[in-house]
Structures are given as structure tokens and as C-alpha cells.
Amino acid sequence: MLLSMFFLIAGLVTPGLTQDVITDDAVFYGQSPPVYPTPEGTGTGDWADAYSQAKEIVAQLSREEKVNLTGGIFINSACSGIIPPIPRVNFTGLCLSDAGNGPRTTNFVSSWPAVGGEFRAKGVNIALGPVVGPLGRIASSGRNWEGFSNDPYLCGALAYQTVQGIQSTGVITSTKHFIANEQETNRNPENGVTAVSANIDDKTMHELYLWPFQDAVKAGTGNIMCSYNRGFVVTDWGAHHAGVATALAGLDMVMPSGSPFWAGNLTTAVNNGSVPESRLDDMVTRILAAWYKMKQEEGFPSPGIGMPSDLSEPHQRVIAKSQSNKDVLLQGAIEGHVLLKNDNGALPLKSPKLISLFGYSAKSFDSYTPGADGWNGGAESAASVHMQIAPNGTLISGGGSGANQPAYLSSPFEALSLRAYEDGTSLWWDFHSGNPQVDQSSDACIVVGNAFASEGWDRLGLHDDFTDALITNVASHCNNTIVVFHNAGVRLVDQFIDHPNVTALIFAHLPGQDSGRALVSILYGDVNPSGKLPYSVPRNESDFGPLQNATQPDGIYALYPQSDFDEGVYIDYRAFDAKNITPRYEFGFGLSYTTFNYSDLVVSLVDGADFSSYPSKPIIEGGHEDLWDQLVKVSATVTNTGSVTGAEVAQLYVGVPNGPVQQLRGFDKPVLEPGASAVVHFDITRRDLSTWDVVAQEWLLQKGNYQVYVGSSSRKLPLSAALQI
């Protein structure tokens, strides 16, 4: 077999100056054989009524009307995609819109809002999120910021809640991007080079990259970009490169238009029998079933209402943001801040008389005008490819289709100015100098930088020399230098973190419109920080090894780049644990203004639970029903041993035989007054303890010794117990 493959490759290469290059992709065919035809949607369970309604409508449609429902059209709208209406059957059409921050390319919305309600108010039928792929395999990937975490359990748990929250408002979620969309480099064919091939083994696929999608499907997501589920399947924008094969394989909708491969060609394919009429019916049934499942036929706003393509033109104003969401927005911004260093009690600030503020991310950006793209992380950063920072102002979001345009912005400078006015504090500032003049009598010097990332390219590195030098220059003249980063992903800090005058470090991440208000409330101790890192911060970029940067076209694969996921499930903290690499700040780490103690670990098997090797109950949304059965109960006591009220994220990790040292499998967050204790409880399911059996094609519960750990981070786990199954 290997010899045959060698001769096949040899016949498909072109001699070059230095080495041969594969010039025909036939060699790659057959490695992932297709399965035709795709299974027809069943519409069981709580989808039954929606499927029944959809089939009644499909039976009334002409073939051309059915085809029109499978591809978008271009009209004067800021919707990312539009499916046209069919008035005679009372179908009003669909507006598909980005994205994770909230409604994009429109006005009168919030950043990091209660997104479902705002999408609905704007007539968005399908919200193009949440993002669970990229998971975060590549540390410098440009779109990591759009997701939740590079841990599949955490990513899946948050995706589940997001899907349920948005869909509770009647808006369909489009969980994306299925699958292994782990880098921006060569994500699309370009300049004669094909899109990168992500080559993943079956075990890694299930245990890492499919895991959060499984949670989203269990939550009932009405759409996946792209996959199989009770809802329907849509392409990413401009990612349709085949015709009949994609229809037979299960694609239901093409965006943003019907593409050259569908539209009239799909009608022709059905007419000549290349695509069965039953497959076309299934496409349309799936689309309409999601519409009915969310009850969008009952009083849903007109698709894309108040969302013209040009916001500067006269249009109907639809106010989507709600005053009732203000507290939610601020609280979300606060909880995204992670306190990583706090030496000598630098924070919270104690009645400072003079504060000096430095850094380009401390102020509002220079202009803020309506437009199709809106706020994209700094206008010049979005336009200048591969910039590592957004130097034009406060970074509240990464760039690309995941960003949106909030109605206002609170910058750190504005919020600090208000606080200084109230307290009678003097405030000096210099936003742009790399080596600013520093008043050495300052009670605190605050440096605010950022780390920018965007759809469309991958980051060139995980730190930048300008900001590192700025921090060092300020710290050399100020003995209480507090560093804040608005960071769209991992940001290395070893270039300055051990400077004795750098007393505190906060990763604010991407806090949205309440950036300044959230930061000031933490700096002054109005609230106690409780955020934890959803990734690890290593000491050096080299600690990531080959997972630091995206795969490039190279060697014989210069025209057909190949990304081999040879590391298996060992990314981020799993890899650092396996390789005995000590990060600067580990996954799950985060400080508080108080301290906590862990005690009284109790681990017990659930009475009457089924510990057979494989699940046996029927498959429902999310997999076999018994994958979600509780097998083990865990509890522990968390005590606030400090002097102020605080919240602690208690974390449960499990060591599975023949797997990573430990994997996150639960978390809880009690709020405790000084001296108070709370018992945290964790339910461990069959799925949490299982590994993927590539032979049986099932989740396997192994017999053997398991380890259970509870603590405050992946490297601070004071409680542990053995578990025999």
C-alpha cells in the first residue's frame, strides 16, 4: 500500500529547482470517503411538530421555489445573507447575521449584549454563532477570540448555555465552524494554492473537536455551519466549491448566494435525476423545520428590519438595545477580567492622590461613524493586515465578522477621569509615547495595551516589542506600575513581568462597550475580580512547539498545504502537563482580593448506575441518551479565608486511563463572605469518563483506575482521590 502510494505521488509531482511539488490533488482522494446519500431528517422528539408543519409547506412548493430556499440573494440589507420570502405560503424569508458580539453592521445595539433579544428586534432569524471552532489548537490563530476556550469541556458547556439562551428568544443559532477550522492562513484557495487540509485522526476528532459541537446539538441548535443535526446545514460565506456532491452529502443552504454550483444548476440536477427530489425536499424541510421550531411564523419581526446596507442613508430606526440589559453587560465585562499578578497589595487602589495613565488602548478611538463594518477593533488595524496591536484606541473586540458596533463606549481614560473627579485625584496621561515622561511621585502608573487578532489572518506573534518596551520604560520610573491588556487571545508577559516595579497585571480580554467602567470598578475594589484564564500563558512562544503558528504551504505540499494534527488531544494545558512544561500562568488561573481554602473532598459512585463498557440507550440529540447519565458524585468545601467577599471558580479535573494527566470536567462558582464556606457539587457523566473507541465507533468506559482532582486551577489542585471503575 505504501509502495503504491509512493508511485502515485511520484506520478503527480512536478520537478522544481529544489524539490518536487505535488501538482494534482488526485493523490488525496479517498482518504476521507464520502457517505451518500445523507440521512433524511427524522424530526423526532421536540422537533416532531416543526417537521410536520414544514412537510405540509414543502408539499405545496414548486421545484423552483424549493431551490430558491436553498441559496441566498443579494438585496439592500446589512444581513449577512438573505433567503427570499414565499408570500403565498406565508413564509416571510430569512435574515442571517453575524455574530458573537451581537448584531453586526447595524446601529442601536450593544456590544456583548443579551444577544438573542437584540437579534430578534432587528429581524435576524439566524444568528451566525456561537463559535466553537476554532477551538484554539494554534495559539496565534486569528479567530480564537471568537470562541470560548481551547478546552473542549469548557467550550461545550458555554456553547450549550449560549444556544439555549439565544434560541429561547426565537432566534436560530448557527453553531460554527464545522470542523477543524483552526487557522486563517490558507483557509480559502488563493493564488493557485488550495485551502489547507486538516488531517485529524478519529479519536482526536471525537474527544477534542467534535466535543463542543455535541453539546450544541444537545442544546438544540437549529443550524450548524456545516454538519448533521436536526436542523439544517449552511456553508460558510463563499465556501461552496462543488455541486451535486455537496447536495448528496447533506448541504442544505449556500451563502451568501446560490453560487455557480447550485441555483439553476441545482434545478437541472434535480430535473435529470443527479440529485433526487427527496434530497431537495429534505433540504427545504430542514430549513423550514428550524423556522417553525423557533415559532418565527408567529409575530417575528420582518427579516433585517432597520438594517440597511448603508447606515448613513435614511432608514427605519429599530432600537434593539435595552436598558434592562445594562447590569448584565457590565457584569459580563467585569467577570471577563482576570487578575494575574498583585504584589505588595497594589490593588485595589487606596485613595490615590496622583495616577499616571499610559498606553494606546486607554482612550476612545479617534472617530466613530456609521458604516457597514462598524467597529472592527481599530479601523487602521482592520485595514492593515497583520498588525499585532490596535493603536487607535480601546480594544473591545477582535476584527472580522465576529465584531459589532455598540451604541457607545466607555474607555479606561473616560472612566478613570470620572472617578478622579469624584475623588479629587490628579490624573496625568500620555497615550502614544513609547518612552513617556513619568512623574515619579505617582501613587500608581497604569499602562493599558492590547493584543489584536482578526478573521482573515493569523497573528505574527504573541507579544509586541513596542508595548513591552513601553511597560519597561514606565516601570523604570514608577515603583507601582499596573499593566492592563485588552487581549484577543494569549499574550506573553515574560518580557516584563519580573520587573520589581510591575506590581499588578490584569488581562481584561475583550470587555465590550463597558470596558472602562468594568476596569475602574476592579481597580478601586468596588468589585472583587473572579475571572480565570480559559487558556494557558506560557513563558515562551517556543513552549507551544509546532502549535504556535499556522501550517504553511511548503515542500511537496506547496500547492496543497497539509496540516497534520499529530499532537492528538494534547493541546494547551494537556500538552504542557504531558511535556512537563511550566507555564507562566496555567489554565484556570486567576487571583482575587481574598483567599480561599479547599477541603473535605468526597467522591462516590452513583447507586444503580450502569458502568457497562458502551452506551446502550437510543441516540437523541447529542448522542446516546446514557452518555449524559450521572455515574459519579463529587463534592468539596470551599472557604473564604480572607477579609473581603469574593467568588471562587472551583474546578474539577479527571485523569482517565491512557489519557491526559487531567482534563476539566466541571466547575462551580460560589460567592462567599469572609469566613463563610460552601459545598460545591459536581456530577460526572458517562461521557466525562469515556474515550472514543475507533474500532467499535462508540464511547468506551474503560475499567481501571481514575483520578479526581479539585482546586483553583489546572496546576493548583489540593484535593485528589482515586476512583476505581
Spell out where 152-288 has E strands. 172-176, 197-199, 223-225, 232-233
d(CA 214, CA 202): 15
d(CA 648, CA 383): 40
Instruction: Single out the residue of 394, 549, 401, 418 nearest to residue 487, CA to CA.
Output: 394
Instruction: Single out the residue of 143, 213, 152, 150 nearest to residue 185, CA to CA.
Output: 143
Map grid coordinates 468589585 to a residue: 527
Instruction: Tell me how far CA of residue 194 lies from CA of 23, 185, 413, 458, 588, in angstroms.
Output: 11, 11, 46, 17, 38
Query: Would you say 680 and 650 are in contact if contact means Cβ atoms under 8 Å apart?
Result: yes
CA dihedral 551, 555, 560, 566 (to 10 degrees): -40
Q: Is 236 a catalytic residue?
A: yes
Helix extents (H) in 536-664: 573-579
Read off φ and ψ for residue 577, nearest 5 degrees.
-65, -45
| Catalytic, out of 98, 151, 215, 236 | 236
Map grid coordinates 452506551 to a residue: 615
Q: Residue 343: CA atoms inside 13 Å, Cβ hemisphere, count?
A: 14
What one-character-per-residue DSSP string does 385-415 give? TT-SS-TTS---S-BSTT----S----HHHH
d(CA 661, CA 432): 45
Map grid coordinates 478601586 to a residue: 524
Instruction: Tell me how far CA of residue 454 lies from CA of 96, 477, 605, in angstroms.
Output: 21, 34, 46
Catalytic machinery residues: 236
